[in-house]
């Protein structure tokens, strides 16, 4: 018997003489009640334990710098740097000026990073960096890679890579038809998406889960399949990306049109998934003041650890079945005030602690701490070109 997860009475499901149906339904209701209580307990505990950070000097994120640099606390030697350099683009800051090797795999990504490096270079000690602009990190201790100080935008705890704020805060983000030069300019998106959130206040939003994106990871399949089975509960569809060849790449359905971030604000529940590494969409979703469901906790960007599950967003396992996802959405449909509260807290956290100033501040603190660990004299490399 498939029983609805809403608090319906037995008579809606069983006729009078169906004793086993009553028993089964009662058992299901009890289990659902227990599960509901557990979710509420988890939320209460998380909120009670949560200590908000001060709104100053990227204070929310700076503990991550020490964590990422911990493997290098014995010093960054020339040998360690050379190992990292082989995996990445070489940059130097010498006498307050920024230099880069001619070759860059992704020029728009380098440009996005350089926007921040140029802004902070004047006050930096001389240093050199191995900066990886690929989608994925490089030095995986679980795969036996040796340690090396490669800077990457995203990683899991298995990697030695040191996280830096992604290029896409400024430019070089993935280009989709809506954003042909890359999703870019976080400072502008903060304004336009939060304006849309004003228009789509909580009461006006549709009580529906929403996701739009390409199939960069099959972890997204469960939600897309749930959407096909229950279109009134979920609208989750696959779009094309550059690798798209046939409907197979959109899970045997024609690709959906892309939807701008501002239009995500129409919906109460927004889903985030990893892609190849962390997906850039996560931070944008919070700006809608919708409730963010974040699937998986392995792939990080520098600001992820400051966001707390149940406090700012709803965590979901990547192994969650369609039924598990449905249960969780329905829970928040039935606890609308709670959903609204968490959505607001998530918005406020990103609004207060992920400004363009915070991004610059993180870069500054990261590079200052990095420079202190360097054990060799950084000598100007004449093969590099002056950026600014
Ligand atoms: N995107 C969007 N609207 C869409 C599809 C994608 O704004 O309809 C954005 C999405 O939020 C992400 C980027 O484009 O920041 C790439 O999304 P995709 O799902 O293709 O890959 P991901 O980077 O999430 O793995």
In this predicted structure, the answer to whether residue 122 has a pLDDT above a threshold of 60 is yes
pLDDT at residue number 4: 38
pLDDT band at residue 181 under the 50/70/90 scheme: confident
Nearest residue CA, atom 12 of ligand 1?
281
Residues 51-88 have pLDDT tens digits of 999 888 899 998 999 999 999 999 999 999 999 999 99
Best CA proximity match to 189, nearest among 303, 287, 110: 287
Ligand 1 center to residue 242 CA distance, Å? 12
* Separation in Å, CA 375 to CA 86, 142, 275: 19, 27, 37
pLDDT band at residue 16 under the 50/70/90 scheme: low
Active-site pick, 82, 135, 158, 161 = 135
pLDDT at residue number 332: 98
Report residue 383 as tokens. 């093969």
pLDDT at residue number 300: 98
Residues 255-313 have pLDDT tens digits of 999 999 999 999 999 999 999 999 999 999 999 999 999 999 999 999 999 999 999 99
The stretch 346-362 carries a mean pLDDT of: 97
Report residue 340 as tokens. 């609204």
pLDDT at residue number 357: 96
Contact 252, 312 (CB under 8 A): no
Best probe residue, ligand 1, of 174, 288, 294 (max atoms within 8 Å of C-beta): 174
Residues 240-256 have pLDDT tens digits of 998 899 999 999 999 99
Separation CA 58–CA 302 (nearest Å): 11
Contact 72, 367 (CB under 8 A): no
The stretch 338-365 carries a mean pLDDT of: 97
Q: Mean pLDDT for the chain?
A: 94
Ligand 1 center to residue 288 CA distance, Å? 16
Ligand 1 center to residue 384 CA distance, Å? 34
* Contact residues of ligand 1, CB 6 A cut-off: 174, 176, 183, 212-214, 216, 239, 241, 258-259, 261, 275, 279-281
Ligand 1 center to residue 214 CA distance, Å? 7
pLDDT at residue number 192: 98
Percent of the chain's residues with pLDDT above 70: 96
Q: Looking at the domain covering 186-300+304-353, what would its CATH class be?
A: alpha beta
Ligand 1 center to residue 212 CA distance, Å? 7
Best probe residue, ligand 1, of 227, 277, 281 (max atoms within 8 Å of C-beta): 281
Percent of the chain's residues with pLDDT above 90: 89
17 is catalytic: no
∠301-236-248 over CA atoms, to 5°? 95
Greatest mean pLDDT among 21-35, 148-162, 170-184 lies in 148-162
Contact 262, 178 (CB under 8 A): no
pLDDT at residue number 11: 57
pLDDT band at residue 5 under the 50/70/90 scheme: very low
Separation CA 210–CA 152 (nearest Å): 29
* Separation in Å, CA 94 to CA 125, 274, 319: 7, 37, 48
In this predicted structure, the answer to whether residue 119 has a pLDDT above a threshold of 90 is yes
The stretch 149-169 carries a mean pLDDT of: 98
pLDDT band at residue 1 under the 50/70/90 scheme: very low
* Separation in Å, CA 172 to CA 302, 320, 358: 18, 33, 19
Nearest residue CA, atom 1 of ligand 1?
213
Best probe residue, ligand 1, of 175, 176, 266, 270 (max atoms within 8 Å of C-beta): 176
In this predicted structure, the answer to whether residue 343 has a pLDDT above a threshold of 90 is yes
- Could you identify the atom of ligand 1 that is nearest to the CA of residue 215? 19
Nearest residue CA, atom 11 of ligand 1?
281
Report residue 381 as tokens. 């490399």
Nearest residue CA, atom 6 of ligand 1?
213
In this predicted structure, the answer to whether residue 148 has a pLDDT above a threshold of 50 is yes
Residues 297-311 have pLDDT tens digits of 999 999 999 999 999
Domain spans, the chain: 63-166+359-386, 186-300+304-353
Q: Is the dihedral of CA 52, 55, 57, 61 positive or negative?
A: positive
Query: DSSP 3-state assignment of 51?
Result: coil
Ligand 1 center to residue 347 CA distance, Å? 20
pLDDT at residue number 381: 98
Query: DSSP 3-state assignment of 359?
Result: helix
pLDDT at residue number 199: 98
Ligand 1 center to residue 250 CA distance, Å? 14
Best probe residue, ligand 1, of 169, 213, 255 (max atoms within 8 Å of C-beta): 213
Nearest residue CA, atom 4 of ligand 1?
258
pLDDT at residue number 22: 86
């Amino acid at each position: 018997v498939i029983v609805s997860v809403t608090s319906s009475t037995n008579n809606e499901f069983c006729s009078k003489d169906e004793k086993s149906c009553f028993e089964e339904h009662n058992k299901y209701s009890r289990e659902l009640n227990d599960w509901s209580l557990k979710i509420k307990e988890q939320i209460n505990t998380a909120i009670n334990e949560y200590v908000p950070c001060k709104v100053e000097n990227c204070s929310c994120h700076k503990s991550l710098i020490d964590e990422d640099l911990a493997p290098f606390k014995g010093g960054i030697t020339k040998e360690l740097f050379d190992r990292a350099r082989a995996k990445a683009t070489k940059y130097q800051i010498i006498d307050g000026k920024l230099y880069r090797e001619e070759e860059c795999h992704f020029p728009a990504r380098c440009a996005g990073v350089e926007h921040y490096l140029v802004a902070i270079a004047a006050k930096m000690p001389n240093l050199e960096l191995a900066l990886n602009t690929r989608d994925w990190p490089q030095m995986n201790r679980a795969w036996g890679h040796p340690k090396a100080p490669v800077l990457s935008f995203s990683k899991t705890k298995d990697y030695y890579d040191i996280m830096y704020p992604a290029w896409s805060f400024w430019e070089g983000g993935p280009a989709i038809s809506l954003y042909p030069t890359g999703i870019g300019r976080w400072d502008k998106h903060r304004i336009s998406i939060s304006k849309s959130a004003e228009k789509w206040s909580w009461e006006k939003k549709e009580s529906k889960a929403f996701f739009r994106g390409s199939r960069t990871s099959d972890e997204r399949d469960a939600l897309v399949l749930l959407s096909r089975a229950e279109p009134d509960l979920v609208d989750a569809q696959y779009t094309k990306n550059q690798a798209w060849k046939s409907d197979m790449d959109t899970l045997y359905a024609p690709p959906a049109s892309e939807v701008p971030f501002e239009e995500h604000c129409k919906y109460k529940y927004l889903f985030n998934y990893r892609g190849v590494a962390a997906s850039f969409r996560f931070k944008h979703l919070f700006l809608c003041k919708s409730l963010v469901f974040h699937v998986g906790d392995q792939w990080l960007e520098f600001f992820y650890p400051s966001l707390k599950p149940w406090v700012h967003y709803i965590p979901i396992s990547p192994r969650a079945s369609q039924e598990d996802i449905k249960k969780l959405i329905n829970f928040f449909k039935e606890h609308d005030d709670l959903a609204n509260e968490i959505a607001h807290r998530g918005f406020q956290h990103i609004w207060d602690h992920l400004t363009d100033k915070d991004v610059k501040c993180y870069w500054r603190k990261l590079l200052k701490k990095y420079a202190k660990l360097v054990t060799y004299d950084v000598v100007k490399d004449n093969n590099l070109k002056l950026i600014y």
